Amino acid sequence: MQNKALRKAGLGIGEIAERTGLAPSAIRFYEDQGLITPLRTASGQRRYDRADIRRLSFIKITQSLGFSLADIATHLAGLPPDRPIRKSDWSRLSRGFRADLDARIAALTHLRDTLDGCIGCGCLSLTSCALYNAGDKAASCGPGPRYLMGDRAADIAETAPHRSAGD
C-alpha cells in the first residue's frame, strides 16, 4: 500500500511542499526562476527527489539571511549539473554566502555605531553628521545634503546594508 508517497517516481509537489514548509506556488515560482528543475511524469506532473528537499531548504535559509532569489540562483548555478551534490558542494556554497553576510553585518554595525554617536553628540542638528552622509551615499551619491555637512561619505556604506549588492 505504501501510503501516498510513491517512492518509485519521487515526491509530488504537494509532498515536497509539506516537507519543506513552502507553498506549492512558491516552488513552482522557484522553478520559473531557475532555482530548481524537477523531472516530469509522462502526464506532466513534477517529481522531486529527496535531494531537492535539501536544495529548497537551502533556498529558504539563504533567503532568510536576506539574499534575493537572483543571488541564490547564481550561487546554485555553481553546483555540478549532473553529478549528485555532495556535502562539500553545500559547504562551498555556504562559504560564499558567509562572506557576503559578514559584509552586511559589518555595514549595519557601522551604521548603528554611527547612530549611537549621533545620539550622544547631538549632531542630528545636521551640521556634520556622518549618518547624513551615509544616507546620502545610500542614495547613489547624487547631490544630497552633503554640502550641508562635511564630505567624508566615501568610507561609509561602501557595502549596502540590505537589498542586493548593486543597489
Partner DNA sequence: GTACTTTCTAAAGCAAACTTGAACTCAAGG
Partner DNA sequence: CCTTGAGTTCAAGTTTGCTTTAGAAAGTAC
Residues at the interface with a second copy (CB under 8 A): 18-22, 53-54, 57-58, 60-61, 63-66, 87, 90-91, 94-95, 97-98, 101-102, 104-105, 108-109, 111-112, 115-116, 118-119, 122, 124-126, 131-132, 134-136, 138-139, 142-146, 148, 157, 161-162
DSSP label at residue 166: T
Q: 44 or 110: whose CB is closer to a second copy? A: 110
**Contact string 32-61 vs DNA (x = CB under 7 A):** ---------xxxxxx---------------
Beta bridge partners of 40: 46
Long-range contacts formed by 145-154: CB under 8 A, 24+ apart: none
Is there a contact between 128 and 139 (Cβ–Cβ < 8 Å)?
Answer: no
Q: 26 or 123: whose CB is closer to DNA? A: 26
Residue 19, CB-side half-sphere exposure with 13 Å CA sphere: 17
Find, among 4, 20, 97, the residue nearest to 52 by Cα.
20
**Looking at 7, 21, 29, 165, which residue binds DNA (CB under 7 A)?**
29
